[in-house]
Chain A
Amino acid sequence: MGSFPDIRTNLGDYVKQFVDFLDTTLEGFFDFIFFISSRTINFLDDLLVTMPWWCFVLIIFLLGWYFKSVFSGILYSLFIFLIGSFGLWEDMMTTIAIILTAVIICLLIGIPVGIWMAFSKGFSNVMRPLLDAMQTMPSFVYLIPAIFFFGLGNVSAIFATLIYALPPVIRLTELAIRGVDQEVIESAQSFGSSRGQMLRKVQLPQALPTIMAGVNQTTMMALSMVVIASMVGAKGLGEQVLVSINRIDIALGFEAGISIVFLAIIIDRVTNGIAAKFQRGIK
């Protein structure tokens, strides 16, 4: 008697129907996305793999040196060298290519959406719960429609990564634009700035440090998706972790895992350094 009444809400079915509907009606659109994403990944991957190894290590050193310190530069290039010495050089390059592609697409979508939210209270109210859902929904769930739209492979991985990693850059862009000092806005207005001039010459430059903090977070979240994304066929370090789980291969698991940690440290510190540089330029 106390058991739940015999009611079944088929919400999942509706979502499935919706996804089916999207797949058929927006097929061309998805093909386009697929084309762009796969070309970008392949281009970056080829570029990174064909680059002489010492050249890449040097680039990492220079980035670390410029945005942090000489010591950081040496440390980061040592990290990269270690990853190579684990025999994971090409996997690392694939991972970097996937992350870069995902982050570029995130910024292309996220920054305009964030700006729009900053200007439109209504749009912001609609988007905010959506962003919450995107961030809290278990990220595995995104894998299913991703396969559905794009099949197994790197593009699906990017799609899932995108949904998970997009919210921070959107949120922080909105926050940054809204947070520009009211008097600075008024002074730009008082000179007769048009809306476009205001955005280009005042609001965006003023907001840049905070937006960069969003870019940093988005990048880190994209990196945190690499293992999950490998379940839909993404190559790279994530795939190696997955393989090691299947084989219960502690050695490989640790090497691939620590490689991801190294990458995370480098990417975090460098993007942070970039954000700090902007901050100094602006304050």
Chain B
Amino acid sequence: METKIKIDHVSKIFGPKPKSVIPLIKEGKTKNEILAETGHTVGVYDASFDIKKGEVFVIMGLSGSGKSTLIRCFNLLNKPTDGSIYIDGEDIVTYKKQDLKKVRQEKIAMVFQHFGLFSHRTILANVEYGLEIRGVSKDERRAIALKNIEIVGLKGYEDKYPDELSGGMQQRVGLARALANDPDILLMDEPFSALDPLIRREMQLELLDIQDRLQKTIIFITHDVNEAFKLGDRVAVMKDGHVVQVGTPEEIIESPANHYISEFIKDIDRSKVFQAEHIMIKPNALVSLKDGLNVAIKEMEENGISSVFVVDRGRRVKGIVTIDDAIQAKKEQKSLSDILRDDYAVVEKEEYINDLIPKALESKYPLAVVNDEDKLIGFILRVHVLSGLVSDDIEESNEYYY
């Protein structure tokens, strides 16, 4: 995928003479040393990474880690003290006022933690704001605004004022206002943090839904690990202004870069990060329809399993046979296709463990994992579902036994 945004050695320093601190950063002094020596606060410390077109890139960190400072660099609400930010290959840090205005009006829109709505304007007028600034004609901006209000599910509220809406609805207005500008890039600064958990979950799903349709490049800030891993195609973890690790949620959970990150992700709900394909095992025993009963029994005996999936030529699952049925059928001279059972459960490889649990509980047999073409690629036993929920450092917890 092509790179949409590239940030290159970006630092943001706060204090009377920010530029003077840059050499110290190049020397590798820590944030605390710089604060002690010069009295300057380092907001973002030498950050570099790429963001690809159409991905949801989450920046995660605790408060004070510099994530809000960093996201404000992308539209220059904060001008980086040093470094470059390339959007579509152009360094926006060097932009003049007019160019910057154009980028803000056309390419990037932002959604704020406390919504940042204009309380003196109706919902419609709020959503129209960006277009109004650009000089779009009255009728046109009204049409666009109404369309976006509908996208976020607020049709009928156009003439209300923000304070007449609940928090969740206000943030929908914030989102509609950002979308109305049809930006390539959406900056979201802890947009759901001020909402209660139920509404937050609803908004997360809706964001994914909207993203599915509109395919924006989204930079999303959060302090909530579960939210980060749920939404992020890739996640950057920040601490004390440093970007400590960048990777997919699975990569970060599988191999946290340092102790800080493993602490951070300790209480992550793994069932919402790991998918069927991460915990399944590849079948070493597969029986095809034409193989017949004897092969099926032999496969089961050799592998010490009590049931086996039967597939056709295209590896599509036809059914499952149990060892008891097979032996019985052999005595009764039946064929393999006579004893196929179809009360097994099939799961997609992208399904989260969370969703597998009920299926695993209900099913008497292993779960069949299929790919997009419906081909069988693995199976999951109940014990796999359980072990998928526990982190790999089992050895650590063994200490408690001694």
Assembled-state Cα–Cα distance A208/B161 (Å): 17
- Find out whether the CB atom of A282 lies under 8 angstroms from the CB atom of B113: no
Interface size range on A against B: 20 to 34
Name which of A190, A205, A281 has the most chain B CB atoms within 10 A of its CB. A190
Which residues from B are CB-within-8-Å of A42?
none
B129 within 8 A of A: yes
Interface size class of B (residues with CB under 8 A): 20 to 34
Contacts of A189 in B (CB 8 A): 77, 104
B107-149 near A? 1/0 per residue, CB < 8 Å: 0111011111111110000000110111000000000000000
B211 contacts chain A at the CB level, 8 A cutoff? no
B102 at the interface (CB under 8 A from A): yes
Contacts A184-B118, A206-B119 given; indicate if A193 touches B133 (C-beta within 8 A): yes
Known contacts A197-B133, A201-B132, A283-B119; A192/B102 CB under 8 A? yes
Asked if B112 contacts A187 (CB within 8 A), the reply is yes
State whether the Cβ of B75 lies closer than 8 Å to any Cβ in chain A.
Answer: yes
Q: Is A6 an interface residue (CB 8 A)?
A: no
A201 contacts B112, C-beta separation under 8 Å: no
* A191 and B119 within 8 A (CB): no
A192 touching B101, Cβ below 8 Å = yes
CB distance from A188 to the nearest CB of B (A): 8
Instruction: Tell me if B163 counts as interface (CB < 8 A to partner A).
Output: yes
B215 in the interface (beta carbon within 8 A): no
B114 close to A183 (CB less than 8 A): yes
Where chain A touches its partner, the secondary structure class is helix
Inter-chain contact total with CB atoms closer than 8 Å: 72
Residue of A whose beta carbon sits closest to that of B164: A283
Which of B114, B118, B181 is packed against the most chain A CB atoms within 10 Å? B118
The answer to whether the Cβ of A194 comes within 8 Å of any Cβ in the partner chain is: yes
Bound state CA distance, A149 and B201, in angstroms?
70
Answer yes or no: A186 CB below 8 A from chain B CBs: yes
The answer to whether B112 touches A183, judged by C-beta atoms less than 8 angstroms apart, is yes
Query: Taking the nearest CB of chain B, how far is it from the CB of A204, in angstroms?
Result: 9
Known contacts A183-B112, A183-B113; A191/B118 CB under 8 A = no
B112 near A186: Cβ-Cβ < 8 Å: yes
Q: Which residues of B contact A282 (CB under 8 A)?
A: 119-120
Whether the Cβ atoms of B120 and A190 lie closer than 8 Å is: no
A274 shortest CB reach to chain B, Å: 15
Q: Are B133 and A192 in contact (CB under 8 A)?
A: yes
- A68 to chain B minimum Cβ distance, whole angstroms, is 23
CA of A208 to CA of B118, assembled, Å: 13
Chain B: minimal CB distance from A83 (Å) = 37
Q: Knowing A193-B133, A197-B133 are in contact, say whether A187-B101 is a contact too (CB < 8 A).
A: no
Nearest CB in chain A: distance from B66 CB, A: 17
Is A100 positioned at the interface, with any CB of B under 8 Å from its CB? no
| Given known A187-B110, A190-B104, A191-B109, contact A201–B77 (CB-CB < 8 A) | no
Q: Give the residue name and chain of the A residue nearest to B102 (CB).
A: A192
- Is B116 touching A206 in the complex (CB atoms < 8 A)? no
Given known contacts A183-B114, A190-B77, A192-B104, is B163 in contact with A201 (CB within 8 Å)? no
User: Per-position contact with B for A128-153: 1 when CB-CB < 8 Å, else 0?
Assistant: 00000000000000000000000000
Report yes or no: A281 in contact with B110, Cβ–Cβ below 8 A.
Answer: no
Q: What is the CA–CA distance of A190 and B129 in the complex, to the nearest angstrom? A: 11
Which residues on A sit within 8 Å (CB–CB) of B100? 192
Q: Indicate whether A194 sits within 8 Å of B101 (C-beta atoms), given known contacts A184-B117, A184-B118, A283-B119.
A: yes
Could you tell me if B133 and A191 are in contact, using CB atoms closer than 8 angstroms?
Answer: yes
7 further interface pairs, Cβ-Cβ under 8 Å (given A181-B116, A201-B118): A183-B115, A184-B118, A189-B77, A189-B104, A190-B187, A191-B133, A192-B101
5 intermolecular pairs with C-beta atoms under 8 Å apart: A184-B118, A187-B112, A193-B133, A197-B133, A283-B161
Chain A positions near chain B (C-beta within 8 angstroms): 181, 183-184, 186-194, 197, 201-202, 205-206, 208, 281-283
